[in-house]
Amino acid sequence: MGHVLFFLHMIGTLALGFYLVLPFILSGAAKLSAPAREGTMNAVGGFNRFAQYGLVVQLLTGGYMMSKGEYSIAWMAVVVVLLLAMFALGGIISRPLRVAAAGMRENRDVSAETAKIRLMSTLLMVSLIVMVFFMVYDDII
């Protein structure tokens, strides 16, 4: 059972890999035409939803494996806070993505929304990198 859950946990990690490349996708999207940017925002919204499902898989499988392991309370607290931050940022970014795509369709200025999207995507990337660091070095805390 433990190996199956670990495999599912790794599948969830692959789904979260989207957050590692998201800031780079968004920086490349700035150079595209308006219809291409709109399509990119729609695609990013779909991939964000997929990554949110990956976070749910991470929560369930990681929570089970954490309950069966010998981890420090501080490590568990840090990991849970990072996971919740990723849930929050992934949820918060979805609205500016929708508003930006709709604004591009209507030829409105969406610079405020794209700035929010860039900031949150960078925070998501950093959160994921820190999470992976703590997963690899679970004895550091």
Q: What is the CA radius of gyration of the chain?
A: 17
Averaged pLDDT, 25-39? 87
Distance, CA of 63 to chain centre = 18
Averaged pLDDT, 44-48? 94
Q: What is the pLDDT, as a whole number, of residue 78?
A: 95
Q: What is the pLDDT, as a whole number, of residue 56?
A: 96
Distance, CA of 48 to chain centre = 7
Residues ≥6 apart with Cβ < 8 Å to 76:
66
Averaged pLDDT, 57-70? 93
> 72-83 pLDDT, tens per residue?
999 999 999 999
Q: What is the pLDDT, as a whole number, of residue 140?
A: 83
Distance CA 5, CA 27 (A): 35
Averaged pLDDT, 24-33? 88
Annotated domain spans of the chain: 2-136
Q: What is the pLDDT, as a whole number, of residue 29?
A: 85
Q: Is the pLDDT of residue 89 over 90?
A: yes
Contact 113/96 with Cβ under 8 angstroms?
yes
Distance CA 101, CA 95 (A): 10
Residue 30 pLDDT class (50, 70, 90 cuts): confident
Distance CA 111, CA 100 (A): 8
Q: What is the pLDDT, as a whole number, of residue 118?
A: 93
| pLDDT averaged over every residue in the chain | 92
